[in-house]
Structure 1
Amino acid sequence: MSYTGEVTVGGAADVRELPALTITKVAVDEKMSNNCYLLRCTDTGDQVLIDAAAAPETLLPLIGDGGLSAVVTTHQHWDHHRALADVVRETGAVVVAGEPDADAITEQTGVPVERRVTDGDTVAVGSCELEVIRITGHTPGSICLLYRDPAGHPHLFTGDSLFPGGVGGTFGDADAFASLIDDVETKLFGTLPDDTWFYPGHGNDSQLGVERPHVAEWRERGW
């Protein structure tokens, strides 16, 4: 079966096999339906988890005996790190998050953020590399993670900054929305090609080329 990115809470994970990286997507928590992404380097077996959102009973068997080198938390909102303490306790993984959100994540979870990252930093997954892109607006320290597949198109993990159909919520804050839409337009649509596949924090995936014609509409509507 080919990868679709369509997952449901309680259902099977969806797995995408790239030449150097395996991406496993799973949905957790009936109420919030968060996406979690386990990345595995095919050369080394090294694994990184993006958003230990909930349900350690789902995430830990997915991680399995291969260990976990890092957990990246895309932003500080509570629904994206409810399993962080359990996953770190069981795996010893290094916790990575955007600098401006790091203190809030620690306050909410009790877990120290050992790597505070921003634009231009990288996170290793074995011999593969994720580029950090800071997107300010949904939260002050939200980050996206970009994998440039040498054998294909880019893969972008967007947290709650970008979804099919629009950017993340800014809760009525006009300044936050302006920052978010500016960063998304400049740092994502302005630099990455149409065939970039993106993986959001909730719901189905999409490609930048599918969403690009609508960015001006999003800016105009204000959300």
Structure 2
Amino acid sequence: MNIGAGYTGEVTVGGPADTRELPDLTITKVAVGPFDNNCYLLRCAATGEQLLVDAANETDTLLRLVGDSGLATVVTTHRHADHVQALEEVVAATGARTVAHPLDAPAIPVPTMDPVVDGDEVHVGEVTLRVVHLVGHTPGSVALLYDQDGDAPHLFTGDCLFPGGPGNTFGDAAAFATLMDGLEAKVFGPLPDRTWIYPGHGKDTTLGAERPHLAEWRSRGW
């Protein structure tokens, strides 16, 4: 698998970003405090257009990452407060359009300009990202799938999938079952083991690393 020029996905709050160069897309990952959130800046290689996944916090950090190239879009993966602390300031500074699922949009402190549902497409320059709606962590959580890289798909999962298991469903057995059903049907089912996972917190992983544990997650209930 091409992970590009030493990319590891291991970032720390206050530390440097990590950048992955794909043929058509550059992915830059940075961690922001105080909850160790991951934010991802995606840049189209052909046009230079940029998209941010989750303006979680540390506006200055995110704007330095954006630089002088401008920011076209911010996608909010879900409505939880730790993922939107810098959203208002980033949008005010850049004029970026805001994207979120309509089930979570009312709880996001900036109006959603472009609501998206399962199967919709979000574009950054000539790059297409497909929206994957996953219910359970929140009603309107979304993941973003980039599958134009011939080497492997890339999936930005917000807080729906991490190394070691699905996102927190806060003791709600029905929500856990719904999230697992969605992950198995929409993520583990159609996507190959080499799919790279970019979560909302912590280290990256792959579907191949996580797939053997699906039954274990079901059994433990979290």
The interval holding the TM-score normalised by the smaller chain is: over 0.9
- The equivalent of 2:146 in structure 1 is 147
- The equivalent of 2:85 in structure 1 is 82
- The equivalent of 2:215 in structure 1 is 216
Distance 1:2 1:149 in 2: 21
Distance 2:202 2:123 in 1: 26
Q: Does 1:169 align with 2:168?
A: yes
Please tell me the root mean square deviation across aligned C-alpha atoms, in Å. Answer: 0.7
Give 3-state SS (helix, strand or coil) of 2:104's partner: helix
How far residue 173 of structure 1 moved from its aligned partner, in angstroms, is 0.8
- The equivalent of 1:158 in structure 2 is 157
How far residue 196 of structure 1 moved from its aligned partner, in angstroms, is 0.1
- The equivalent of 1:102 in structure 2 is 105
Q: What does 1:1-223 correspond to in 2, within 5 Å?
A: 1-29=5-33, 31-105=34-108, 109=109, 111-223=110-222
How far residue 151 of structure 1 moved from its aligned partner, in angstroms, is 2.9
How far residue 98 of structure 1 moved from its aligned partner, in angstroms, is 1.1
Distance 2:176 2:102 in 1: 20
| 1:58-87 deviation per Cα after TM superposition (whole angstroms, max 9, x unaligned) | 000110111111000000000000000000
Distance 1:79 1:140 in 2: 16
Contact kept in structure 2, 1:19 and 1:151, CA below 8 Å: no
Distance 1:151 1:195 in 2: 11
Range that drifts further, 38-47 or 147-156: 147-156
Structure 2: gaps of 5 or more residues: none
TM-score by length of 2: 0.97
Contact kept in structure 2, 1:48 and 1:68, CA below 8 Å: yes
Give 3-state SS (helix, strand or coil) of 2:157's partner: strand
Give 3-state SS (helix, strand or coil) of 1:100's partner: coil
Distance 1:93 1:135 in 2: 24
How many residues align? The count is 218
Contact kept in structure 1, 2:26 and 2:43, CA below 8 Å: yes
Range that drifts further, 10-19 or 141-150: 141-150
How far residue 149 of structure 1 moved from its aligned partner, in angstroms, is 2.7
Distance 2:69 2:140 in 1: 30
How far residue 185 of structure 1 moved from its aligned partner, in angstroms, is 1.0
Give 3-state SS (helix, strand or coil) of 1:150's partner: coil
Q: Percent of counterpart pairs with the same letter?
A: 63
